[in-house]
Amino acid sequence: NAATRGIPWLLGGSADLAPSNMTALDGESDFSSGNYAGRVFHFGIREHAMAAIANGMALGGLRPFVATFFVFTDYLRPSMRLAAMMRLPVLYILSHDSIGLGEDGPTHQPVEHLAACRAIPGLSVVRPADAREVAAAYRHALEHSDGPVALVLTRQAVPTLAETAQAAVAKGAYVLRDAPEGRPDVLLMASGSEVSLCLKAADELATRGIGARVVSMPCFEWFARQSEEYRNEVLPPAVTARVAVAAAVRQSWDAFLGPAGRFVGMDRFGASAPYGELYRRFGITVEAIVAAAEEVTTRAT
């Protein structure tokens, strides 16, 4: 809503999920055959058509956004792929991003979708850790028009982190919290809702004499555009003890983990239960992160 007030050519809608995606535009009218001035589009339950329409809008000079649950990118991916191919500035707002959506169960819980979307050349996949990173991601996405951006958001509430560096979100990854004197024994890497788990794990590791650097990695594609110097500053090559945490499959993390790293995340489909129970069931916990960090740190020494 804040963005649409400042960008009159920003318009769009959801695939019949606006209340769940929280993409309703306050005070704006619906686009219809009788109202071409409307900025709110009711696309209906047809994700592929919605994304294809957005491509046409972008080709016409508008700045469209479309929204649905992340798992339903399976239905719109051909249009998303074409947007990336044509470098169209389409904004995809994709909520309910993991097993964290809870009781809807495995049919609605995206597990492989982060890897699938990151595999599309030219698509920037942004998974913010908290509200501040969300705001920064919106800003960076709307300031650029060189390709589509997928903004991947949680359903469950996540804490607003004191350490968030909004200006660094545009770099794709940054040091959220460093080890004492900037000399980490282990790197803890995550995006989205798992970043807060890494911060808690770092606290526990500190009590065991292990210095952890927590790296928030909201967008791999933006990080890849940074200089080699910056990338090595965030992820020092000399620190081979690394743990990546994601409520998703491992694919796309190996480039950062290296041969000695450990992954804490999913290797199967989800289940129906409250999200806290699911995180425990699938081993995405502070305790699991700490154990993985101790293992890789021991191997590295």
* 114 pLDDT more than 80: yes
* 8 pLDDT more than 90: no
pLDDT (0 to 100) of residue 28: 86
* 111 pLDDT more than 80: yes
Q: In angstroms, rounded to a whole number, what is the distance separating the alpha carbons of residues 76 and 153?
A: 17
Contacts of 193 (CB under 8 A, 6+ apart): 97, 98, 100, 129, 154, 156, 158, 247
Average pLDDT, integer, range 224-253:
98
* 281 pLDDT more than 80: yes
pTM exceeds 0.85, yes or no: yes
Catalytic residue list: 47
Q: What domains sit in the chain, N to C, each tagged with a CATH number?
A: 2-152 (3.40.50.970), 166-300 (3.40.50.920)
Tokens encoding 22:
């929280």
